[in-house]
Amino acid sequence: MRIHEPYEAKRNLQSPNRNISPITTSIDKERRLMVGGCLLSDLAKKYGTPLYILDEETIRKSCSTYRESLKKHYSGESLCIFASKANSSIAISKIIESEDLGIDVVSSGELITALKGGIKNSHIFLHGNNKSEEELRLGYKNKVNIVIDNDHDIEKLAEIIPKDSYPANLMLRMTPGIECHTHEYIRTGHLDSKFGFDPDRIEEIIIKLKSYSWAKLEGLHAHIGSQIFELSPHEDLAEVLAEVFDLAKRIGHPMQDLNIGGGLGIRYIDSDDPPTIDDWIKTVANAVSKACLKRNLDLPRLICEPGRSLIGSSGVTLYAIGARKTIPGLNTYLSIDGGMSDNPRPITYESAYSACLADRPLDSSEEKVTLAGKHCESGDVLIKNLEIPKTKSGEILVVFGTGAYNASMSSNYNRIPRPAAVLVANGHSDLIQRREQPEDLLKYDILPERLRGVNLN
């Protein structure tokens, strides 16, 4: 990707998910790329590569846009909660807390991180299709909202919660029969999903929960997909949820929350065209209001849980360019010092990304290359057919849109340490996650006594 001069003028400052780069992206006098007032090549020198960079202003703008759009378009109470599976750290949790948002978590690790970041217990929602006893105990002990996903959750909570103890704050997850893709969606009675209760069992489960003194069912949850560019499926979703919400209230549960999930997409490449955050919220809010009015229901607290669309476009990853292999008439491989261990999305989902050189973002493209990772896998390719200026070893490459599902899905494949993460704002950079060292990867290794000093040959 070449960053053109007019590109900055076209940036959508109100809806960061519509941009490929962070909203603070700029070019200095020497035509070098900056984010958050920091020169990217300087950050590479200071912190090393690969390096995750998050722009604080972009994150905060996404938070405030979700929060303000809910207030503008929905007359009832509302709460935006961040799907922390997209990128979980104490620093990010602290930003979320300071913006008065909540957070959803799916493990003890994410839950502890949210608590350490200062998130209110009442604003934490524990998800998961196979919660362990430890996770359920931790959630109950800290009085967070527990999203019931299946019979296993109910059975475990019945065992865990002491008699005559305080009730658990519960939300019921259902499979709504709506599956949304980027450009189309389908609605069926049943969907093959590991998440949530099937529609045919909802009434049975709602009645069953009424028989438990420890069960305080306060809300309903559903989620219809990820990287969504369509708005209309949410109108069907609102109808389904309102019908079940009404049923639960009639059965006698203190229902107050309706969580419509998240899934709004972001722009990774020029051809991506996601709705704005405000348009997404407007559609959801109007659909829920209409569905509730139709059933004479008081408006519930409307909850949404964006992940990618809140943090994805705030992130860039820096790599140092290394080896080059040219196969005449066929391909040129340009290798970087990272790859599938710090960004598994291309090899897993064939995800597309945009990239440019940190210090030559305005230079014209001179060749088309395959951007290859350093891992021992032929499929470790980050970007195919990348148009880029002629490069030399050691130059810094910037890959955009890496704020979501890069750090959180990273691994130590080939025993490669995970990158550091840096938060930038107003010309300052702060380390928020240290770079792993090779020695760190041996921390949990144990050499059995019987193998010590033994010549296995």
Alpha-carbon span 39 to 3, nearest angstrom: 15
Residues 273 and 364 in one domain: no
CATH of the domain at 242: 3.20.20.10
Alpha-carbon separation of residue 220 from 258, 293, 374 (angstroms): 5, 18, 45
Q: What does the pLDDT read at residue 186? A: 60
> Is 262 within a domain?
yes
Neighbours of 413 (CB within 10 A): 16
Alpha-carbon span 141 to 278, nearest angstrom: 36
Residues 203 and 279 in one domain: yes
> Is 115 within a domain?
no
> Is 178 within a domain?
yes
Residues 297 and 165 in one domain: yes
Residues 358 and 240 in one domain: no
Residues 244 and 343 in one domain: no
Catalytic residues: 376
> Is 297 within a domain?
yes
Alpha-carbon span 208 to 200, nearest angstrom: 14
14's tokens: 């109100």
> Is 79 within a domain?
no
Residues 168 and 280 in one domain: yes
Alpha-carbon separation of residue 7 from 100, 267, 270, 410, 424 (angstroms): 32, 14, 11, 31, 21
Please name the residue ranges forming H helices in 31-173: 40-47, 56-73, 90-98, 108-116, 133-141, 151-160
Residues 174 and 282 in one domain: yes
Residue type, 110: E
- Contact in structure between 331 and 372 (CB atoms under 8 Å): no
Count of domains observed in the chain: 2
Which of 342, 368, 341, 374 is CA-nearest to residue 355?
Answer: 368
Which of 98, 87, 149, 97 is CA-nearest to residue 122?
Answer: 97
Alpha-carbon span 390 to 364, nearest angstrom: 9
> Is 453 within a domain?
no
Rg (CA), the chain: 24
Residues 191 and 293 in one domain: yes
> Is 84 within a domain?
no
C-alpha of 268 from chain center: 14
Residues 292 and 365 in one domain: no
Q: What does the pLDDT read at residue 180? A: 74
pTM for this one? 0.95
Q: What does the pLDDT read at residue 191? A: 76
CATH of the domain at 430: 2.40.37.10
Residues 250 and 148 in one domain: yes
**Torsion of Cα atoms, 187 then 188 then 192 then 196, to 10°:** 80
Q: Is the four-CA dihedral 102, 103, 104, 110 of positive or negative sign?
A: negative
Domain range for 252 = 127-305
146's tokens: 């527990």
pLDDT tens, the chain, 457 aa long? 555 443 444 578 889 999 999 999 999 999 999 999 999 999 999 999 999 999 999 999 999 999 999 999 999 999 999 999 999 999 999 999 999 999 999 999 999 999 999 999 999 999 999 999 999 999 999 999 999 999 999 999 999 999 889 999 999 999 988 877 655 666 655 677 889 999 899 999 999 999 999 999 999 999 988 898 988 888 889 999 999 999 999 999 999 999 999 999 999 999 999 999 999 999 999 999 999 999 999 999 999 999 999 999 999 999 999 999 999 999 999 999 999 999 999 999 999 999 999 999 999 999 999 999 999 999 999 999 999 999 999 999 999 999 999 999 999 999 999 999 999 999 999 999 999 999 999 999 999 999 987 665 5
Residues 349 and 301 in one domain: no
Q: Strands 315-327 and 51-55, how do they pair?
A: antiparallel
Residues 152 and 238 in one domain: yes
- Residue that the structure tokens 């002491």 belong to: 162
**Which residues, 6+ apart, have CB-to-CB distance to 238 below 8 Å?**
260, 284, 287, 288, 290, 291
